[in-house]
């Protein structure tokens, strides 16, 4: 049975998922089109699942893939609530010398960051999953998605704070308890 799990992201501030390359005037740039790519979304969801269920939980490999088999799910890049992402803005970071309490020499970095009020993304099954497997996978995706509170770079410096809600999988106390039981499985 094919399935889709849908999410809505509410941004609480600017965020940055960098290209890894500089651009004129900035040390770190964001992508021109896909500001929140599928690979970043999958990565933060996998890391959250590992944090919640443990490194060795079998269900994490089943849902997100492992060296033994690829994931039966395909992540789509986030799309902004408006027609396009706002233009990125430069932001400066400076390192303060603890002895002089002034800017350290050669420690100014200018990076792009972007902002949106909301964005949506979805995770689609690649092929047939049996009823019970599908139900468990959807549960893992919904809970881990909603447990994410930050994404992208420099989350400890105030970037990337978000709220994520799953819009098509209902979660209640019983389903969260079932999710936590997957730690032992």
List Cα–Cα distances, 120 to 95, 102, 103, 157, in angstroms.
Answer: 35, 42, 39, 24
Q: What is the pLDDT of residues 90-139, one digit of tens each?
A: 988 888 888 988 888 877 889 999 999 999 999 999 988 999 999 999 99
Q: What is the pTM of this model?
A: 0.90
Residue 129: how many CA atoms within 13 Å on its side-chain side? 19
Query: Does residue 137 contact residue 72 with C-beta atoms inside 8 Å?
Result: yes
For the chain, domains (ranges, CATH) are: 4-15+32-86+115-181 (3.30.70)
Q: What pLDDT, on the 0 to 100 scale, is given for residue 112?
A: 92
Cβ contacts of 56 within 8 Å, gap of 6 or more: none
Q: What is the pLDDT of residues 30-45, one digit of tens each?
A: 988 889 999 999 999 9
């Amino acid at each position: 049975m094919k399935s889709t799990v849908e999410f809505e992201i509410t941004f609480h501030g600017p965020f940055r998922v960098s290209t890894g390359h500089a651009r004129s005037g900035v040390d770190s740039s964001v992508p021109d089109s896909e500001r929140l790519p599928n690979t970043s979304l999958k990565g933060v969801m996998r890391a959250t699942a590992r944090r919640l269920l443990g490194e060795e939980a079998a269900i994490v490999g089943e849902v997100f893939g492992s060296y033994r088999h690829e994931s039966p799910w395909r992540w789509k890049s986030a799309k902004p609530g408006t027609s396009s992402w706002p233009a990125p803005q430069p932001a400066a970071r400076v390192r303060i010398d603890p002895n002089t309490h002034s800017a350290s020499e050669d420690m100014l970095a200018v990076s792009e960051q972007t902002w949106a009020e909301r964005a949506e993304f979805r995770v689609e099954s690649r092929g047939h999953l049996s009823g019970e497997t599908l139900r468990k996978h959807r549960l893992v995706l919904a809970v881990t998605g909603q447990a994410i509170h930050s994404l992208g770079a420099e989350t400890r410096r105030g970037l990337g704070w978000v709220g994520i809600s799953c819009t098509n999988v209902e979660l209640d106390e019983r389903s969260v308890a079932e999710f936590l039981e997957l730690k032992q499985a």
